[in-house]
Amino acid sequence: MLIVQKFGGTSVGDLERIQNVANRVSASVKEGNDVVVVVSAMSGETNKLVGYAQHFSKNPAAPEMDMLLSAGERVTASLLSIALQEMGHNATAMTGRKAGIVTDIHHTKARIERIDPSVMQAALKKGQIIVVAGFQGVNAEGDVTTLGRGGSDLSAVAIAGALHADLCEIYTDVSGIYTTDPRIEPKAKKLEKISYEEMLELASLGAKVLQNRSVEMAKKLNVNLVTRTSFSNEEGTLITQEENIMEAPLVSGIALDRNQARISLMGVKDRPGIASDIFNKLATAEVNVDMIIQNKAHDGATNIDFTVPVGDLNDAKEIVDGFVKDGEINADSYNEDICKVSVVGIGMRSHTGVAARAFSTMADNNININMISTSEIKVSMVIDEKYAELAVRGLHDAYELDK
């Protein structure tokens, strides 16, 4: 098998851990696999470099920042390659540029445009273990670029796609994706497999494990992703195409998003184009609107409620207040003490009653549902934040996710 193994900052956090990673890579090679390793900077290293730059400037130039930050990953890649060589392996360290990673011109948040895998392929043919510095590429001008914080996951997935690897393993200090946050529900179980779509909907459960952008890229390039821990031999969670999951459970997981705020617009003028005006303004300001509900009120006006991430609330307020001033909306109000619980599962596509069971669970626990939205594989409910944990546990039980 050709495996891409990506090790995050904590997995390469000190020299002993880098040796551990070398041992693991070595074991995988001895099993007969071809291995391409992608590494992050040692944990804390990127922040340290950012701090150095800020010592000199509040607003350091992006090309210099990229040259600076890309160094963190180079350190790890070189050290790991040296450790592997010392163990008798034929290893070679590569920068993003040498690995053929070509990005657009946007320094500090570049997008990978293409990968020319020929140098890596030639190295693999020679039986070499390749150790790539993650998080970086090169733009058309020949400058080093970085892919945005956490971007070495993306490097790994893109390389796995370009090499048509059988597997892309993402090693962190978390052992996989759980049915819900184990800190809320200790009975949470680690999932063996989950589809890309479910993983994207369960983002909050994978937040510390995987970047959403990486899951999207894996889906697009059809890369089988495994998240697992580098601190034990425990199996992780496979994130793959729906077709590869034979018996999809009705529900795979319960996600909780505490980071939501609700905006209520009362007495919105009932005229064609008003929703378009409001939500286009919000979109232009890059406010991320999630759920939207519109009700008909009396007197030819309507009420509209919607949710945004707490961080976007101030921008949203400003825009909405503008409509109030112009007399297009009577009044607005805000509530930050809400959260969104979501029940996610591809099994919902072919089964009925999933949403009804979620609502009964809320009823049984005396939790009032403020807003509801559903998609083919998800039922989301906005509730008061104080019921967040009760709701998650109740739902986890209701769908028997501990079984």
Binding site for ligand ASP (CB under 6 A): 9, 40-41, 46, 72, 134-135, 149-152
Binding mask 285-304 for Mg ion (x = CB under 5 A): --------------------
The alpha-helical segments, DSSP class H, found in 109-247 are 118-125, 152-162, 196-201, 203-206, 212-221
**What residues from 121 to 150 belong to the interface with Mg ion (CB under 5 A)?**
150
Q: Are 319 and 285 in contact (CB under 8 A)?
A: yes
Q: Is 8 in the site for Mg ion (CB under 5 A)?
A: yes
User: What is the smallest separation between the CB atom of 67 and ligand ASP, expressed in angstroms?
Assistant: 14
Burial class (CB in 10 A: 0-12, 13-18, 19+), 173: middle
Cα–Cα distance measured from residue 339 to residue 29, given in angstroms and rounded to the nearest whole number:
46
> Which of Mg ion, ligand ASP, none is residue 46 near (CB under 5 to 8 Å by kind)?
ligand ASP
> How many CB atoms are located within 10 Å of the residue 309 CB?
15
User: What is the smallest separation between the CB atom of 225 and Mg ion, expressed in angstroms?
Assistant: 14
Q: Kindly state the helix (H) or strand (E) to which residue 255 belongs, with its residue range.
A: strand 253-269
User: What is the smallest separation between the CB atom of 46 and Mg ion, expressed in angstroms?
Assistant: 9
User: What is the smallest separation between the CB atom of 8 and Mg ion, expressed in angstroms?
Assistant: 4
The SS3 call for residue 394 is helix
How crowded is the C-beta side of 92, counted as CA atoms within 13 Å?
16
User: What is the smallest separation between the CB atom of 237 and ligand ASP, expressed in angstroms?
Assistant: 19
Cβ nearer to ligand ASP, comparing 41 with 282: 41
> Which of Mg ion, ligand ASP, none is residue 206 near (CB under 5 to 8 Å by kind)?
none
User: What is the smallest separation between the CB atom of 313 and ligand ASP, expressed in angstroms?
Assistant: 26
DSSP 13: S
Cβ nearer to ligand ASP, comparing 77 with 346: 77
Q: Are 155 and 33 in contact (CB under 8 A)?
A: no
Cβ nearer to ligand ASP, comparing 48 with 349: 48
> Which of Mg ion, ligand ASP, none is residue 380 near (CB under 5 to 8 Å by kind)?
none
Cβ nearer to Mg ion, comparing 8 with 161: 8
> Which of Mg ion, ligand ASP, none is residue 29 near (CB under 5 to 8 Å by kind)?
none
Nearest to 156 by CA among 88, 209, 79: 209
User: What is the smallest separation between the CB atom of 91 and Mg ion, expressed in angstroms?
Assistant: 22
Q: Which residue has the tokens 């007495």?
A: 267
Cβ nearer to ligand ASP, comparing 12 with 278: 12
Nearest to 387 by CA among 403, 363, 356: 363
Cβ nearer to Mg ion, comparing 150 with 267: 150
Cβ nearer to ligand ASP, comparing 69 with 282: 69
CA 155 to chain centre: 14
> Which of ligand ASP, Mg ion, none is residue 387 near (CB under 5 to 8 Å by kind)?
none
Q: Which stretch binds Mg ion (CB under 5 A): 1-9, 19-27, 231-239, 338-346?
A: 1-9
Name the residue whose CB lies closest to Mg ion. 8
User: What is the smallest separation between the CB atom of 158 and Mg ion, expressed in angstroms?
Assistant: 15
Q: Who's near 82: CB < 8 A, 6+ residues apart?
A: none
Cβ nearer to ligand ASP, comparing 39 with 238: 39
User: What is the smallest separation between the CB atom of 5 and Mg ion, expressed in angstroms?
Assistant: 14
Number of amino acids touching Mg ion (CB under 5 A): 2
Q: Are 167 and 150 in contact (CB under 8 A)?
A: no
**What residues from 148 to 177 belong to the interface with Mg ion (CB under 5 A)?**
150
Q: For residue 324, what are the CA distances in angstroms to 227, 267, 270, 284, 353?
A: 48, 10, 14, 19, 41
Cα–Cα distance measured from residue 331 to residue 322, given in angstroms and rounded to the nearest whole number:
11
Q: Which residue has the tokens 């002993």?
A: 16
Cβ nearer to ligand ASP, comparing 9 with 117: 9
Nearest to 6 by CA among 253, 196, 203, 223: 223
Cα–Cα distance measured from residue 163 to residue 119, given in angstroms and rounded to the nearest whole number:
11
Cα–Cα distance measured from residue 35 to residue 5, given in angstroms and rounded to the nearest whole number:
7
Cβ nearer to Mg ion, comparing 110 with 245: 110
User: What is the smallest separation between the CB atom of 155 and ligand ASP, expressed in angstroms?
Assistant: 8
> Which of ligand ASP, Mg ion, none is residue 151 near (CB under 5 to 8 Å by kind)?
ligand ASP
> What is the binding site for Mg ion (CB under 5 A)?
8, 150
